[in-house]
């Protein structure tokens, strides 16, 4: 059973639901106003999971997996791709390996047109955590960042963020600047990934809320391609050692569900 969390004041038009692992088959009953998020950790998978995950991958994905130098990176890639394929396959009643992808105008992956399916998705991973977000007919972006020490934090802030974000991060108490950096980074990445413009979109052309204690928000934009009122940001359930954020095209009464996923044999 999934637990409904009472909305806070800034979540007055949305729901956040956190639940235990469930079958991907529930995606077949997918309300159009809902955003579904799955997350999985390499260290919490059942015995024998890796061959199951690898077995869902395409030949091209297996080749990419083989090119990773670190074993943990290869495992994380396989886990994330298997999760994406399994939940999409369940929505379309096809085998995971039958799911095919193509690139959008700026390179963002999407379902191949041959599927004639309305789903939009975005994957991300960091540390030992993989996350996938899926919607019906609305663009979505998700990002997760393992919080870790950084050399020359102030230099990175000045090189990466807008003037407003720089001011807000560097005005925070020194002990909280690292958390603010990663909160802001995850939020900006989620927005850029939702847009699908990739590295072409200048990160200093828009402002997000940088405080990890404040709700994620797109505050301002100086680019015509990004209209703040057209997007809404969500926090994901907190996970120790990680910052994360979700950006989705706005819809009234939208709901976000977040479930833990394990790579188990299909029933």
Contact 57, 95 (CB under 8 A): no
Same domain, 18 and 86: yes
Same domain, 35 and 95: yes
pLDDT digits (tens, 9 = 90+) for 44-89: 999 999 999 999 999 999 999 999 999 999 999 999 999 999 999 9
Give the whole-angstrom CA distance, residue 86 versus residue 207.
Answer: 35
Tokens of 114: 């041959």
For the record, the structure tokens of 227 come out as 């209209």
Residues 6+ apart with CB under 8 A from 152: none
pTM given for the model: 0.88
Could you tell me which residues are beta bridge partners of residue 242? Answer: 146
User: Is 12 found in the same domain as 128?
Assistant: yes
134, 183: one domain: no
Within-domain flag for 78: yes
Q: Are residues 134 and 155 in the same domain?
A: no
**Are 126 and 169 in a shared domain?**
no
Q: Same domain, yes or no, for 178 and 205? A: yes
- What's the structural domain count of the chain? 2
- Within this chain, do residues 173 and 223 fall inside the same structural domain, yes or no? yes
How confident is the model at residue 24, as a pLDDT?
A: 53
Reference 135, options 110, 107, 101, 98; nearest CA is: 110
Contact 37, 244 (CB under 8 A): no
Summarised one tens digit per residue, pLDDT across range 91-116 is 888 999 999 999 988 889 999 999 99
78 and 196 in a single domain? The answer is no
Residue with more model confidence, 242 or 3: 242
* 126 and 153 part of one domain: no
CB-based contacts of 60-67 (< 8 A; 24+ apart in sequence): none
CATH code for the domain in which residue 96 is found? 3.90.470.20
Please list the residues that pair with 155 across neighbouring strands: none
Which residue in 195, 190, 187 sits closest to 223, CA to CA?
Answer: 195
- 102 and 171 assigned to the same domain: no
Report yes or no on 266 lying in a domain.
Answer: no
Domain that holds residue 174: 145-247
Given a cut of 50, whether residue 262 has pLDDT beyond it is yes
> Are the C-beta atoms of 263 and 40 separated by less than 8 Å?
yes
Nearest to 36 by CA among 132, 160, 128: 132
Q: State the sign of the Cα–Cα–Cα–Cα dihedral 112, 37, 138, 147.
A: negative
In this predicted structure, the answer to whether residue 266 has a pLDDT above a threshold of 60 is: yes
Residue 243 Cα distances to 62, 111, 142, 250, angstroms? 29, 27, 11, 22
């Amino acid at each position: 059973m999934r637990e409904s969390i009472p909305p806070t004041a800034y979540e007055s038009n949305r729901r956040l639901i956190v639940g235990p692992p469930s079958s991907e088959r529930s995606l077949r009953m997918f309300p159009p106003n809902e955003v579904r998020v799955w997350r999985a950790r390499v260290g919490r998978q059942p015995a024998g999971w890796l061959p199951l995950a690898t077995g869902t991958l395409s030949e091209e994905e297996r080749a990419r997996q083989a090119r990773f130098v670190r074993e943990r990176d290869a495992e994380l890639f396989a886990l994330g791709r298997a999760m994406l394929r399994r939940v999409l396959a369940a929505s379309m009643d096809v085998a995971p390996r039958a799911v095919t992808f193509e690139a959008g105008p700026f390179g963002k992956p999407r379902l191949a047109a041959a599927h004639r399916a309305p789903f939009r998705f975005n994957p991300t991973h960091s540390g030992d955590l993989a996350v996938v977000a899926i919607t019906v007919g609305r663009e979505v972006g998700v990002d997760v960042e393992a919080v870790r020490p950084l050399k020359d934090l102030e230099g990175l802030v000045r090189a990466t963020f807008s003037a407003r974000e720089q001011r807000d991060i560097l005005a925070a108490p020194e002990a909280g600047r690292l958390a603010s950096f990663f909160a802001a980074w995850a939020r900006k990445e989620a927005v850029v990934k939702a847009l699908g413009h990739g590295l072409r979109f200048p990160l200093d052309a828009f402002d997000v809320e940088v405080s990890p204690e404040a709700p994620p928000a797109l505050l301002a934009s100086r680019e015509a391609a990004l209209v703040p009122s057209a997007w809404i940001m969500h926090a994901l359930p907190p996970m120790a050692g990680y910052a994360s954020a979700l950006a989705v095209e706005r819809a009234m009464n939208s709901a976000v569900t977040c479930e833990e996923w394990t790579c188990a044999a299909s029933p």
